[in-house]
Amino acid sequence: MTGTIVDRLNLRPTDTVLDLGGGTGLYSRGMAQHAAMVVCADPSNGMLAQLPSDPRLTPLHAGAEEIVDAKIRLPLEAYDAILLKEVVHHLDDPARILAGLARLLRPGARILVVMLPTMIDYPLFDAALRLFQQRQPDPEDIAEAMTGAGLHAEVTYEGFPLAFDRERYIDMVRSRYMSLLSSFTDAELEQGVQEILARHPGPEVRFTDRFAFVLGTAP
């Protein structure tokens, strides 16, 4: 995933990057190997505290709305690349946020939104898959929002094959590893777990994790 992000953003050694919703810096760390500076922004201080010590990594305690509404001072006024990895579905108004972020781009700079498509092949129970489809934004709508913000937008897809020990995966579901699963009660979740177990009787759970990469480029 990190390599795909770096390639899509076409990072150069002199680039400055804003990783919005960067959490513990999972992708910031990889991008820092190819850029001059990566600002890892996240609304959770606990997540940012796990960012490794690296002169190329700058933590920033802020969410997307705070940045776009200029409620917090950014380390730099403009950036060569901005990443939103599995962030857009948490935004109340993605079009407004993307328009605000577009104003932070230098000429020729890029915004990359990495998101799940509206339909996924995850080994979840039917109710969870239906709820996901109802809630997940359409990548084409995100591309349209980028175009409205004055960017050239394109949507591409990439699949990543995954394999989990079945019991480990079931533990992840019970722990609500996806925020979507917090919408279900303990009883509903356990019923869903039994549905997953019935469909996957073997020792492993295998599926393709498919992502949409929505790239917006400033003129």
Counting the structural domains of the chain, the total is 1
Q: Is the pTM of this model over 0.85?
A: yes
* pLDDT recorded at residue 163: 97
Task: Give domain status of residue 94, yes or no.
Answer: yes
Residues in the chain: 219
Task: Give domain status of residue 185, yes or no.
Answer: no
Task: Give domain status of residue 78, yes or no.
Answer: yes
pLDDT band at 204 (very low <50, low <70, confident <90, very high): very high
Task: Give domain status of residue 130, yes or no.
Answer: no
**Residue 17's domain is classified under what CATH number?**
3.40.50.150
Task: Give domain status of residue 190, yes or no.
Answer: no
**Residue among 48, 8, 16, 49 at smallest CA distance from 32:** 16
Region 137-156: mean pLDDT is: 97
Task: Give domain status of residue 176, yes or no.
Answer: no
* Per-residue DSSP letter, 72: S
* pLDDT recorded at residue 69: 94
Domain ranges, residue 74:
2-119+135-159+210-217
d(CA 45, CA 64): 15
Task: Give domain status of residue 180, yes or no.
Answer: no
The mean pLDDT value of the chain amounts to: 96
Task: Give domain status of residue 92, yes or no.
Answer: yes
d(CA 16, CA 77): 11
